[in-house]
A = this chain, B = another copy of it.
Amino acid sequence: MATPTSLPLPAVRFEGGLWGERIERVGNVTLLRQWEALNDRIPGAAPSHAIRNLRIAAGELEGKFAGLCFQDSDVAKWMEAACYRLHVGGEMNRASASGAPPVAPVNSTLAAAVEELVGLYESAQAPDGYLHTYHQLKPGAVRWSNLRDLHELYCAGHFIEAAVAHFDATGSSRLLKVAVKLADLLDHTFGRGEGKRVGVPGHPEVELALVKLARATGDNRYLDLAEYFVTERGQQPSYFVGEAAARGEQAPPVWAYFDEQAYWQAHQPVTEQEEPRGHAVRAMYLYAAMADLAREKGDEAMATSCRRLWDTMVKRHLYIIGGVGADGPGGENFSEAYDLPDDRAYAETCAAIGLVMWSRRMLDLELDARYTSVMERALYNNVLAGLSQDGCHYFYVNPLAVAPKEARRRYDCKMVKTQRVPWFGCACCPPNVARLLSSLGHYAVSRTAAGLALHLFAGMRIAVEEWRIKVVTDYPWTGRVEIFVEAAPAGEFELAMREMNTDWSLNGRALEDKPERGYLRIRRRWQEGDRLTAELPLVIERVRAHPGVTSASGRLALQRGPVVYAVEEVEHGSPLASLGLRRSSELTAEFDTGAWGGVTVLRGEAEREVAGEALYTTESPRREKVPFHAIPYAWWGNRGEGEMRIWIRDYEL
């Protein structure tokens, strides 16, 4: 097995700033509130039923299964996030190697909930290791009979990830044992070997989990099983076709109305796939697993396929907010090249999270800032938008333009929420945001063959082995970055960080090193007191899209660093569609310390068309000047309901 590149989670401690504050809120507010949601204790929120299902399966309650077939995964993702919080936050932190100041103590409710869940999982698991409350509780449900739709393996994956996180956080192997028993059942059940059955999951996820389990246990069988699930997909004869025929299915489900097998990325073997297709979250999880396997197995064909899929995604299918999934109403699918509508964007929060997961794994394959910049784009925009400022409300779908009245009425926008909600009947996104942000340290810094690589610029302390590094910055609001080496291991090591088209200095002297693939890789004998500094260029950029992107035609988006901006009705009135900027208009970036934690807003003078009475006119449009005020996209919708849009008119005169 390849050396893990992620540091132990407590080795990276965010301090203040955007990520520090947000992660703290997730730890202290979001996770507790989600526990309430999972226990159906939030009045007015869509009920989860998820903990209740688990209690019934554990024999604590009598009752029937309720909710979606993948409801278990909400609990598992929450459990994983809570364990990350425990791991960083300490009550159950067996060995803090960080040396940093302690974080706020973990709420005892959280710790107790985690402990309780361990017991519930132990009790719920079937004697042979099976664990999926939907199949365990539904009368007549037959396990493994519908791998395509019923998410048994997906839920198994999330449970295994939670168990590994619990093991890392607590050192206790109680939950890991449950996971191993489940994984062993899967290993005995699935594969091409004698006595095994062919099968692939409709929603990839277990593959990622099996790689983690292999790393946690050192047992290569799990890696091999992950490889099996990935490589079986798309083979002929098609497992899904056979399974559907065995069920007597007459027509594919509506969500696969167009893509059919490609909806499940099962239209061809994964190493032959060239264009991202089908359900976007599934695609991201699959490609992330492919990147894992490419590294773990040294599989060059898999790596090549990952790079090719990445390139076509970035060139043709990526929303400017770092989102994917353009065909929303039918099934959150990738659409045709350049088909990126703004008001009907799905851009699911989970898909952006999957993209972050895939990006991070591509960085394990090759240290290249093209992955990091997409990871940043997704994190600062699509992922962050998924969570409200108060930490308790969520977007599942993240359109780039919303007109609330139209969105509520139009059938093709029925997946759009015009405001964040406290929970969803299908609540995959909320705990997914929590687990990503609670483990952001894994994405910010990685171990390389020669030392460490810093991917995200954020106020943080890194403490691993002999390394003690402190990063001071207010990025993405200001460009100043200072990296203080407070201690370093003896010998020559490499610190890598993104170059960002600017000059870096080491101890006040400009570095002459040339970046490689966007990273400066500084190899030297590091010492206490070494200081790397740079002024990252945070220029307000006017971004235009490829002419094939109709929703952006004649329009521009504003971006500063990784942050994409949006305008809202509260400042500009309605409709926003004709609001735009002249080429000559100056914009200034101002830090707004106002109500919502402090963000950099953009101000200037805009123009908008003056609406007349007529629907159609042969008169030239008349424009009026209005004050312009753009906010970071991820912050939209925190001030009541109203219109929002990213792509604004590009007035040429």
Contact = CB atoms under 8 A, between A and B. Distances in A.
B543 A339 contact: no
Contact of A616 (B408, B543, B617): B543
Copy count, this protein chain:
2
A629 interface: no
Nearest to A611: B547
Interface string A535-553: 0000001111111111001
Contacts of A333: 409
A158 interface: no
B555 A616 contact: no
Contacts of A296: none
A25 interface: no
A143 interface: no
A193 to B, nearest CB: 39
A475 B543 CA distance: 46
Given A547-B608, A548-B577, A258 B614 contact: no
B541 A553 contact: no
A258 B618 contact: no
Contact of A652 (B542, B611, B652): B652
Contacts of A401: 550
A541 to B, nearest CB: 5
Contacts of A548: 575, 577, 611
A474 interface: no
Given A550-B577, A615-B318, A257 B327 contact: no
Contacts of A609: 547
Contact of A545 (B257, B314, B613, B615): B615
B612 A546 contact: yes
Interface string A608-641: 1111111111111100000000000000000000
Given A339-B409, A409-B327, A617 B544 contact: yes
Contacts of A580: 554
Contact of A409 (B320, B335, B550): B335
A344 interface: yes
A412 interface: yes
Contacts of A411: 257-258, 327-331, 412
B621 A544 contact: yes
Given A343-B550, A543-B618, A550-B575, 5 more contacts: A327-B409, A330-B410, A339-B410, A544-B619, A548-B575
A549 B617 CA distance: 13
B616 A554 contact: no
Interface string A312-323: 001110101000
A187 to B, nearest CB: 38
Contacts of A617: 543-544
Contact of A653 (B554, B615, B652): B652
A200 to B, nearest CB: 24
B414 A615 contact: no
A174 B618 CA distance: 53
Contact of A547 (B320, B545, B575): B575
Given A339-B406, A652-B652, A616 B331 contact: no
